[in-house]
Each structure stands twice: as structure tokens, then as C-alpha cells.
Amino acid sequence: GESVGLHLPTLSVQEGDNSIINCAYSNSASDYFIWYKQESGKGPQFIIDIRSNMDKRQGQRVTVLLNKTVKHLSLQIAATQPGDSAVYFCAERVGNNRKLIWGLGTSLAVNP
Amino acid sequence: EADIYQTPRYLVIGTGKKITLECSQTMGHDKMYWYQQDPGMELHLIHYSYGVNSTEKGDLSSESTVSRIRTEHFPLTLESARPSHTSQYLCASSESTRQKIQYFGAGTRLSVL
């Protein structure tokens, strides 16, 4: 399944399918882009990041893709599991003081 | 598992009361942050600190104040709570050299009646 991030805040997928969560960013000066996962009743948890001079980075079952031409970031989750159900946030690090600017979340629901 | 703790988890309070939301971390991180988050929405930075006796206002204007007298403790205070302050407040910390990886507490959900 695939979301369009800001415009479709909910993504529903079947267990075992691959998920793609999208995010549009606005600041060309951002040097890092980061994905966080927030489970119900918890604070966000770091998943993976990518430096602005890269276009792809892989982690365990997750891949982040960065397209600077269209200012687009995506998180791919392979073989989605029920434990992946959460709200996913993209964030960009900007400015001299390196603050994080957070995007709107996308809710991922995994159906058994 | 992050060693950052927020109390209380839930708080229901009447208008005009003074409240303090507690945040403590045991990781020795220099940098700490307070965010405000409405349900399902993005996080907005309201305060941050780069070390003891250093505090700055974030991007979202807030009537709250913070203090950083000890490295591990970063409390947030509202002198006079109002219904517009109803929200979730998240505290986070990070290492000085890895600010993009922030460790979050579970949050305090505040309701002002």
C-alpha cells in the first residue's frame, strides 16, 4: 500500500505486504531527513535517517528514499507486521541550531 | 528503551491553576526539548535547552516557562492554565553530537477545564 502523506493521513495494509509512506518537505537547506514512529500512548521513536547528499538508505526491513528534485521523502517497510501499526512522522533538520521541523503524521494500520 | 520519564501521564485541572510538568532523563544528554502535540498532528517545538542554565523558546509561541538547573531535569510550568493549553506535551533529549536522534518520554496529556 502507498500513502500520499500530507493528503491521506491513513494507510491500511495487509500483514505481509510492503508499505510506502510518503512525505513532502519544504526546506532546501535541510541536511538530514529523519523518520520517527509513534505508537499509541508513547512518544516518537527514531527509525532511520538519511543525509541530504544521499538518495537511498536501508535499515532492517525499512528503506528511506530521498528525491531532492521534487522535495520528496518516502519510507518503505517490507513485510509489514502488526507491530508496525503506528503513526509515522518525517522530520527535517534545518538551521544553524539544527532544530527538527516535523511533518504531519501518517497513520499505518496493519490488518491481520 | 529510552531513559526519559515524564510525570504525570495525565492531568485534568481547572482554569487558573499553576501546573508543572516534570521531565527527567538519565542518559546524561545535554540537549532537551519540549514539544506540544495535538492528537495525530505534528510536533511543535515550544522550548529547548542546550545545557544547564540555557533555555530558548521554540518555534511555537507558548505561555509556559522552563528551567534547566540540573542536566537531568527539565520541568515545564504554566502559571495559570487555560482551556487553550489542553494538549499533549512531549519531552525529549539528545546527545550533543547527534541532535537528529531524539529520545522521547511517553508524554503528559493535559486537559484544562
Check if the beta carbon of residue A93 is closer than 8 Å to that of residue A103: no
Band of pLDDT at residue B2, cut at 50, 70 and 90: low
Check if the beta carbon of residue B30 is closer than 8 Å to that of residue B48: no
Mean pLDDT, rounded, of chain B = 93
pLDDT for res A59: 95
pLDDT higher than threshold 80 for residue A84: yes
Q: Give residues 47 to 106 of A whose Cβ lies within 8 Å of B.
A: 49, 87, 89, 91, 93, 98-105
Contact between chains at B101 and A49 (C-beta distance less than 8 A): yes
Query: Is the Cβ of A109 closer than 8 Å to some Cβ of chain B?
Result: no
The residue type at B68? R
Measure the N-to-C terminal CA separation of chain A; round to a whole number of Å.
14
Answer CATH for A10-88+100-111 from 2.40.50.100, 3.40.50.720, 2.60.40.10, 1.10.3720.10:
2.60.40.10
Query: Once rounded to an integer, what is the mean pLDDT over residues A92-99?
Result: 78
**A32: nearest CB among B91, B100, B103:** B100
- For residue A104, what is its C-alpha cell? 504531519
Least confident of A29-33, A78-82, B63-67: A29-33
Find which of A45, A50, A57, A106 to mutate to test the B interface (most B CBs within 10 Å of its CB): A45
**Calpha distance A101→B88 (Å, rounded):** 18
pLDDT for res A3: 39
pLDDT higher than threshold 70 for residue A80: yes
Burial of B91 (C-beta count, 10 Å sphere; 0-12/13-18/19+): buried
Q: Tens digits of per-residue pLDDT, B97-112?
A: 778 899 999 999 999 9
Q: Of A82-96, A97-111, B5-19, where does the model show the most confidence? A: B5-19
Contact between chains at A41 and B106 (C-beta distance less than 8 A): yes
pLDDT higher than threshold 80 for residue A32: yes
Q: Tens digits of per-residue pLDDT, A38-77?
A: 999 899 999 999 999 999 999 999 999 999 999 999 999 9
Contact between chains at B43 and A9 (C-beta distance less than 8 A): no
pLDDT for res B16: 96
Task: Break chain A into its structural domains and give their ranges.
Answer: 10-88+100-111
User: What percent of chain B has a predicted confidence (pLDDT) above 70?
Assistant: 98
Longest CA–CA span in chain B (Å) reads: 41
Query: Once rounded to an integer, what is the mean pLDDT over residues B24-33?
Result: 95
Question: DSSP character for B84?
Answer: G
pLDDT higher than threshold 80 for residue A8: no
- For residue B93, what is its C-alpha cell? 533529549
pLDDT for res B21: 98
Concatenate the DSSP letters of all residues of A33-67 into one string. Answer: EEEEEE-TTS--EEEEEEETT-SEEE-SSEEEEEE
pLDDT for res A5: 38
- B12-112: what fold? Immunoglobulin-like (2.60.40)
pLDDT for res A94: 83
Band of pLDDT at residue A4, cut at 50, 70 and 90: very low
Closest residue in A to B102 (Cα–Cα): A46
Burial of A76 (C-beta count, 10 Å sphere; 0-12/13-18/19+): middle
Contact between chains at A34 and B100 (C-beta distance less than 8 A): yes
Band of pLDDT at residue A104, cut at 50, 70 and 90: confident
